[in-house]
A and B are shown apart, each in its own frame.
Chain A
């Protein structure tokens, strides 16, 4: 059992996220990891996030695990076909990675190589089912593996994207495919999140999958505005942006907001933890737990 699974079985769990840089430098990766290490059960490593080409997620996971903390390997469907995905999943397991997060990935057109041919051979739900099969000892086609994986399988969910009514249904599909934990998109509107959780509970999913609510501390009003308008699938209440805008100390207010949101989601039935995406502001994470 992975550390993350164990933590989730025990109680409220915190995970973090770091993004590799473009280049071979692992310095900032290690720095960010060390900043959050004592506060999280696992570190999720993004896979060419926002479709910008960077150091690979798998390599970054290994670098991070050397620091003595477990990682969650993100694997998007954008850049690899089913052969490469399975091959990398076998490799990652062989090298000590125990958690994997299956996601579609941001479209290549939105990144820094918009001319690239996207792969999308399989989708994220098919990826989850494929990993489950590998955990059972078989590849996608049914060939037996010499040495199987035993990944703790994660997925992403965006409670705030459209169509709203499809959102819990889609999570149900992911759970049926084999997802064991889910990280949500950043929550800025706890009421809307609770509305989604109601649907999730109505489908009995809170009993079947560990739910980690996404939390992103806002560093400034500029960041809030940027996220509200430029990041796909984010819903940010106007009052929240105004509150940060009006503040004399925007960073401080950002931390306050994040702490309040953590408090609110913690009280929502079915939420098993939080997933902190600090997007470059990792050193603030300790102050979220003061």
Chain B
């Protein structure tokens, strides 16, 4: 799922400052499960903003999924978007972009910094699992992603900073190469790690030209 982190109130204040009627728009899918942009978080932000901007009209609404056109085209949602002059989206950054594509006269701003796709490893703690590289190689790394989970995206083993299972960049963070090694060792397949993973083709992912996938 897509994981995001709410921006600081200061930054949000600056974004919505020029507008009088603000609709905080939540999302019931990733944003709710991920505890960043569901009903509860929308209500909280509306109170925070209401305290600062006494003379603005601030309301909130939650849609099923902001990444899907049909939920944003719903009559009630349409009415609210058109009645307000700024949509403050609490979903991942796909939300505000979908809003402006469907409603070309609207203004939509992000309340979130969209961080990564990953999962909850425990309640309220999310970790990245995929960096959307477009050329998946985890069949060669025992099912764990070195692109997203190694701070240097190393494809052929741990750097010299791996220490006690943790990463040189952040002692709280697991070194994924330690995890990959542990799995290889558990499966008795350490020698598989001797194979060299060739340079990656990034053109199919984040850095490339391909920005559309057809499933028809």
B143 partner residues in chain A, CB cutoff 8 A: none
A125 partner residues in chain B, CB cutoff 8 A: 155-157, 196
Chain B nearest CB, measured from A228 CB (Å): 12
B157 nearest in chain A by CB position: A170
Which of B159, B185, B193, B202 is close to A104, meaning CB atoms less than 8 Å apart? B159
Query: By the criterion CB–CB under 8 Å, are B158 and A173 in contact?
Result: no
Query: By the criterion CB–CB under 8 Å, are A166 and B163 in contact?
Result: no
Chain A 128-164 residues near chain B, CB threshold 8 A = 129-130, 140, 156-158, 161-163
Query: By the criterion CB–CB under 8 Å, are A233 and B168 in contact?
Result: yes
**Chain B interface, DSSP helix/strand/loop, else mixed:** loop
A288 at the interface (CB under 8 A from B): no
Segment from A1-9, A115-123, A189-197 that makes contact with B: A115-123
Query: By the criterion CB–CB under 8 Å, are A129 and B196 in contact?
Result: yes
Docked pose: A165 CA to B188 CA in angstroms: 13
A158 partner residues in chain B, CB cutoff 8 A: 159-161
Chain B 154-200 residues near chain A, CB threshold 8 A = 154-165, 168-170, 175, 177-178, 181-182, 185, 190, 193-194, 196-200
Which of A118, A162, A185 is close to B178, meaning CB atoms less than 8 Å apart? A162
Query: By the criterion CB–CB under 8 Å, are A156 and B194 in contact?
Result: no
Chain A 213-252 residues near chain B, CB threshold 8 A = 232-233
Docked pose: A121 CA to B175 CA in angstroms: 19
A177 at the interface (CB under 8 A from B): yes
Interface size on B, residues (CB 8 A): 33
A130 partner residues in chain B, CB cutoff 8 A: 199
Contacts A82-B199, A232-B163, A233-B168: A166 and B152 contacting too (C-beta < 8 A)? no
| Central interface residue in A122, A123, A156, A233, by most chain B CB within 10 Å | A123
Chain B nearest CB, measured from A65 CB (Å): 27
B153 at the interface (CB under 8 A from A): yes
B35 at the interface (CB under 8 A from A): no
B164 nearest in chain A by CB position: A162
Complex interface bits, B35-52 against A, C-beta within 8 A gives 1, otherwise 0: 000000000000000000
Docked pose: A106 CA to B169 CA in angstroms: 9
Chain B 76-126 residues near chain A, CB threshold 8 A = none
B12 at the interface (CB under 8 A from A): no
Chain A 54-107 residues near chain B, CB threshold 8 A = 77-78, 82, 104-107
A109 at the interface (CB under 8 A from B): yes
Docked pose: A140 CA to B169 CA in angstroms: 30
Query: By the criterion CB–CB under 8 Å, are B178 and A123 in contact?
Result: no
Contacts A82-B199, A120-B152: A166 and B169 contacting too (C-beta < 8 A)? no
B151 at the interface (CB under 8 A from A): yes
Docked pose: A88 CA to B5 CA in angstroms: 39
Interface residues of A (CB under 8 A from B): 77-78, 82, 104-107, 109-110, 118, 120-126, 129-130, 140, 156-158, 161-163, 165-166, 169-170, 172-173, 176-177, 185, 232-233
